[in-house]
Amino acid sequence: MLLLNDERWDRVNSMTGGEASVCFQCGSCSAHCPINAISDSGLNMRKIVRSAQLGLDFNGELWNCATCKLCETTCPREVGIVDVVLGLRSLAFEEKKAPEKIEKVVWDIYENGNPWGGKKGERSLWADGLGIKDARAGVKVLFFVGCESAYSREAHESLRSITEIMSRLGVDFGILGNDERCCGEPVLNAGELGYMEEIASQNIAAFQKTGAEIVVTASPHCSNTFRNYYSKHGLKARVMHYSEFFYDLFRDGKLKLRSDSISETAYHDPCVLSRYDDFVSGPREMLSVVTRSPLIEMEHTGRESLCCGGGGNRMFLDFEGARLADRRMDESAAAGAKNVVTACPYCVMNLRDSSDTRKMGIGVHDLAEVLRGALA
């Protein structure tokens, strides 16, 4: 016997924005979930949405979801499935049912300003000796570095590439240095909405003090959070991922590129840029000028791109068995690629680790590094 609780249903419906109500349980979401293809335990999105419809408790599989939105691209009812997952996570976090590692991520952001436990005073070590302007002196463009790029040494070359391109093009930009703090996406993914509002308020105030008209980010996870969450809480500045910013300059003839030595190259579309922001052709147009051979397309591309496995706070959790990044790199090998270019620090880390640990011999590069090497 299944007992339904009206009060509970009201709370779940409120937390999920009522998104589950239009679902007719066709199962397309579960059939297309990339995690199901690599894991026996899988991720039963249809069951998760049904639980939200009925106001039932659902917790375990919620944290497997990468929030990649591939399920939404095939949903005939256009259900906001990721909104359902995040709403249920909010309820779970409120009821202290979130995984301990997720709770630690939230506390690390509270105490250190980042989810990795890195020291505040080391956030801008990557910029030592570069002479980058303090944005609080007043800038047109605020470059928001983000936590993953700031604390991962292998991402530092991408940051230096972004800032070098900006400098060479005469962009008036600056950074917040060690005073920059997390955009809050891990907190939003954890479901701690009260603290997320506090983070947004603090960051918006910091951004406004710079006078910046544009906020450019290294990570699409940050730009997506600013564009879709902060904009509802008072952020007025335009928000762009660096690939979007450089594409505009490229299209206007200000960013001039030449053919570089890179060849046999495939572009991996990050989930956020492709499915959340519908930014697919821009990186390819720039790469088509840079690469010495036609760009290679993998089996899943554009809005149907496969997730690297890092989104939705999966970067902070441990999962056994096959990895999404392995499946994606297998696709690149099958397509004949010797190089994979992408534009997200999570994607770079996961795909590069997959290639290196399995000795595939496929290079994984951040788009910014490739563009810097091809500046005319």
**Residues 294-348: pLDDT tens digits?**
999 999 999 999 999 999 999 999 988 889 999 999 999 999 999 999 999 999 9
> Is position 141 within any domain?
yes
Do residues 132 and 86 share a domain?
A: no
**Which spans in the chain are helix H?**
6-15, 28-32, 45-54, 70-73, 81-94, 100-112, 147-151, 156-168, 185-190, 193-210, 220-228, 242-251, 271, 281-290, 324-334, 345-357, 367-373
Query: Cα-flanking dihedrals φ and ψ of residue 188, to 5°?
Result: -65, -45
Do residues 152 and 239 share a domain?
A: yes
> Is position 102 within any domain?
no
List of residues 6+ apart from 60 with CB closer than 8 A: none
Do residues 327 and 359 share a domain?
A: yes
Q: Which pLDDT score is estimated for 4?
A: 63
Q: Which pLDDT score is estimated for 18?
A: 86
Q: Which pLDDT score is estimated for 14?
A: 85
* Total tally of structural domains belonging to the chain: 3
Spatial contact of 118 and 156, defined as CB atoms under 8 Å apart:
no
Q: Which pLDDT score is estimated for 2?
A: 58
Do residues 215 and 307 share a domain?
A: no
Whether the predicted pLDDT of 16 surpasses 90: no
Residue after which a domain boundary falls, among 60, 94, 128: 94
Spatial contact of 184 and 109, defined as CB atoms under 8 Å apart:
yes
**Which spans in 291-323 are helix H?**
none
Do residues 152 and 245 share a domain?
A: yes
What is the tens place of the pLDDT at every residue in 112-158?
Answer: 999 999 999 999 999 999 999 999 999 999 999 999 999 999 999 99
Do residues 219 and 284 share a domain?
A: no
Do residues 227 and 285 share a domain?
A: no
Do residues 169 and 230 share a domain?
A: yes
> Is position 108 within any domain?
no
> Is position 105 within any domain?
no
Do residues 126 and 170 share a domain?
A: yes
Domain of residue 209 covers 120-180+198-249
Q: Higher-confidence residue: 87 or 11?
A: 87
Whether the predicted pLDDT of 12 surpasses 90: no
> Is position 191 within any domain?
no
Strands 214-217 and 238-241: parallel
**Tokens, residue 312:** 């939705």
Do residues 166 and 237 share a domain?
A: yes
Do residues 236 and 269 share a domain?
A: no
**Inter-axis angle of helices 6-15 and 45-54, nearest 10:** 130
Whether the predicted pLDDT of 39 surpasses 90: no
